[in-house]
């Protein structure tokens, strides 16, 4: 590159003072020498040497716009730039209507003019400050399965709002033993409208009761109910309930999760994102989860845009997907011409009364309450501190990203350290090995193991080399600390502790 720059500096002056015909000859010669494209070579000779990345970026949006964008991003629960770009006009209007935001005209215009890519670049710093197949217990009845028709992912077409996919999400924590709360998730195919409800136990009659309650809050009538082949769905109770209610009951193919891609996506994007992976059991946890879902359904369906697949084509091994523009389920419901006008008016009236910031603050408080209930048996701690006021929550949106993840349910419980489960193979000769190491600390683990095998043949196999290497690593670290910081008199105590530990291991080995 340095040679090319020198050539540009030598030829550029002659190129600028030459005529059209001479410039063509100079350009031909320059292209032949450097291998540049002709257009790029012409630009270099006209403007002198250049380096990629030398252009200074022109900052269009000032700090006020970026600060307001951070507040709006936090108020939208940290969604991506493509979804936030669609939500910005409605979110700004809602926050200003409720007195949470007051933007200058130039700041408002800048926010509405930002592209999705620019939004992601502007929020990059804030984001950095913040992240085998299961065996079925009991197979469902073959007769019930044969009576329920199969619907694949390609059979949906463009259904009217009311045809939903359903699934259960288990809140069992690290173990599936005993009884625990589960979540029934329903996702509408046409609009993406999602409803969640807790189930205290896994029972088919309770599924129909909860489904009956969910139907009361759905903005449209339930027309279709598509589930997987779980036994809690594949039974006479659920089948007869759907038949009596006039709901089309279908199922996916066994072990084909793509047939239920809509609800499977919501299991992670809504349930796991809001609730997390802790174990929830008992009436108190179910009631707290129901309160959380009462808030989540409004926030997700009105203020959370999502993508919807428009087309998928396959070219050999390559699959190309094209998506519709991001939109909220509420917006898709209003845009659907097949939805009755009274349903649209009822949903629109509900949306205008919602305060997104208050909803998010209440969700955070409900999540903290749920975590406190889930961790109470193991932690023994009291109730968490009181939830902040709406003004305190709004003031914290500007700097919330600096504290990292703010969702209480996203913080995992610390895992307990596993104790040693196997007896120490060197328990009898630990003191001898340590004496050899003190006398000759430069000896390798293999040399000490060979010496030990020579003295006690047939007792210590070659496979114990890695164990001895870890032992010498700890001893060398201890020796290094002693050499750097000086003797503190604890070495003898540590030796006695090693010998006592070795004696304990020896007694355990003898008992075994």
Answer whether residue 401 shows pLDDT above 90. no
- 193 compared with 503, residue with greater pLDDT: 193
Read off the pLDDT band of 478 (50, 70, 90): confident
Interatomic CA distance for residues 433 and 415, integer angstroms: 34
User: ∠ at Cα 107 (102, 109), nearest 5°?
Assistant: 110
Read off the pLDDT band of 50 (50, 70, 90): low
pLDDT, position 411: 67
Answer whether residue 378 shows pLDDT above 70. no
Identify which of 136, 450, 83, 112 has the alpha carbon closest to the alpha carbon of residue 300.
Answer: 83
pLDDT, position 412: 62
Lowest mean pLDDT among 126-135, 190-199, 246-255: 126-135
- 402 compared with 195, residue with greater pLDDT: 195
pLDDT, position 487: 56
- 87 compared with 128, residue with greater pLDDT: 87
With residue 314 as reference, give the H or E element that holds it: strand 309-315
User: ∠ at Cα 126 (390, 124), nearest 5°?
Assistant: 145
pLDDT, position 171: 94
Contacts of 144 (CB under 8 A, 6+ apart): 234, 235, 236, 239
Answer whether residue 501 shows pLDDT above 60. no
Interatomic CA distance for residues 219 and 216, integer angstroms: 8
User: What number of other Cβ atoms are within 10 A of residue 108's Cβ?
Assistant: 18
DSSP label at residue 296: H
DSSP label at residue 152: -
Q: Is residue 412 packed enough to be buried (19+ CB in 10 Å), middle (13-18) or exposed (0-12)? A: exposed
- What's 71-137 look like in SS3? HHHHHCCCCCHHHHHHHHHHHHHHHHHCCCCCCCHHHHHHHHHCCHHHHHHHCHHHHHHCCCCCCCC
Answer whether residue 45 shows pLDDT above 90. no
- Indicate the SS3 state at residue 320: strand
Q: How does DSSP assign 344-380, residue by residue? A: HHHHHHHHHT--HHHHHHHHHHHHHHHHHHHHHHHH-
- Indicate the SS3 state at residue 489: coil
pLDDT, position 500: 38
Interatomic CA distance for residues 73 and 79, integer angstroms: 7
Read off the pLDDT band of 51 (50, 70, 90): low
Contacts of 239 (CB under 8 A, 6+ apart): 144, 147, 148, 249
Interatomic CA distance for residues 141 and 274, integer angstroms: 34
Return mean pLDDT, the chain: 85
pLDDT, position 385: 59
pLDDT, position 492: 44
Interatomic CA distance for residues 59 and 497, integer angstroms: 64
pLDDT, position 57: 58
Interatomic CA distance for residues 306 and 184, integer angstroms: 20
Interatomic CA distance for residues 345 and 351, integer angstroms: 10
Q: Span 1-30, mean pLDDT?
A: 85
Q: Span 331-358, mean pLDDT?
A: 94
């Amino acid at each position: 590159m340095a040679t090319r720059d020198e050539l540009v500096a030598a030829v550029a002056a002659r190129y600028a003072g030459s005529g059209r015909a001479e410039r063509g000859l100079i350009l031909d010669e320059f292209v032949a020498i450097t291998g540049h494209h002709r257009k790029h070579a012409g630009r270099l000779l006209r403007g002198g040497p250049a380096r990629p990345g030398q252009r200074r970026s022109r900052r269009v949006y000032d700090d006020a716009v970026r600060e307001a964008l951070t507040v709006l991003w936090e108020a939208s629960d940290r969604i991506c730039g493509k979804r936030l770009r669609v939500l910005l006009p409605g979110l700004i209007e809602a926050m200003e209507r409720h007195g949470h935001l007051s933007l200058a005209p130039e700041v408002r215009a800048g926010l509405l003019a930002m592209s999705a890519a620019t939004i992601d670049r502007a929020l990059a710093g804030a984001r950095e400050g913040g992240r085998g197949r299961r065996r079925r217990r009991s197979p469902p009845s073959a007769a019930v399965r044969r009576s329920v028709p199969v619907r694949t992912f390609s059979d949906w077409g463009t259904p009217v709002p009311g045809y939903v996919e359903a699934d259960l999400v288990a809140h069992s924590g690290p173990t599936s033993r005993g009884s625990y709360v589960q979540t029934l998730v329903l996702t509408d195919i046409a609009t993406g409208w999602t409803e969640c409800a807790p189930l205290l136990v896994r029972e088919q009659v309770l599924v129909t009761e909860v489904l009956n309650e969910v139907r009361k809050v759905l903005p449209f009538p339930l027309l279709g109910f598509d589930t997987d082949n779980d036994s809690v769905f594949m039974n006479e109770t659920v089948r007869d309930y759907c038949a009596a209610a006039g709901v089309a009951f279908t199922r996916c193919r066994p072990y084909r999760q793509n047939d239920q891609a809509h609800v499977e996506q919501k299991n992670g994007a809504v349930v796991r994102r809001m609730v997390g992976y802790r174990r929830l059991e008992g009436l108190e946890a179910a009631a707290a989860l129901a309160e959380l879902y009462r808030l989540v359904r409004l926030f997700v369906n009105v203020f959370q845009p999502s993508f919807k697949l428009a087309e998928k084509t396959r070219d050999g091994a390559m699959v190309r997907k094209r998506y519709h523009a991001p939109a909220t389920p509420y917006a898709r419901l209003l845009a659907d011409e097949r939805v009755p006008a009274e349903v649209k008016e009822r949903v629109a009236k509900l949306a205008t009364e919602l305060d997104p910031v208050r909803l998010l603050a209440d969700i955070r408080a409900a999540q903290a309450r749920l975590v406190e209930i889930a961790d109470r048996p193991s932690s023994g701690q009291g109730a968490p501190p009181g939830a902040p006021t709406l003004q305190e929550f709004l003031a914290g949106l500007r700097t919330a990203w600096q504290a990292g993840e703010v969702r209480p349910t996203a913080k995992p419980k610390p895992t307990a350290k596993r104790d040693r489960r196997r007896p120490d193979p060197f328990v009898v000769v630990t003191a001898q090995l340590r004496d050899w190491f003190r006398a000759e600390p430069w000896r390798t683990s293999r040399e000490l193991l060979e010496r030990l095998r020579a003295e006690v043949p047939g007792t210590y196999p070659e496979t114990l080399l890695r164990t001895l290497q870890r032992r010498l690593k700890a001893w060398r670290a201890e020796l290094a600390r002693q050499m750097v910081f000086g003797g503190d008199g604890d070495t003898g105590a540590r030796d006695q502790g090693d010998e006592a530990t070795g004696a304990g291991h020896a007694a355990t080995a003898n008992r075994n």
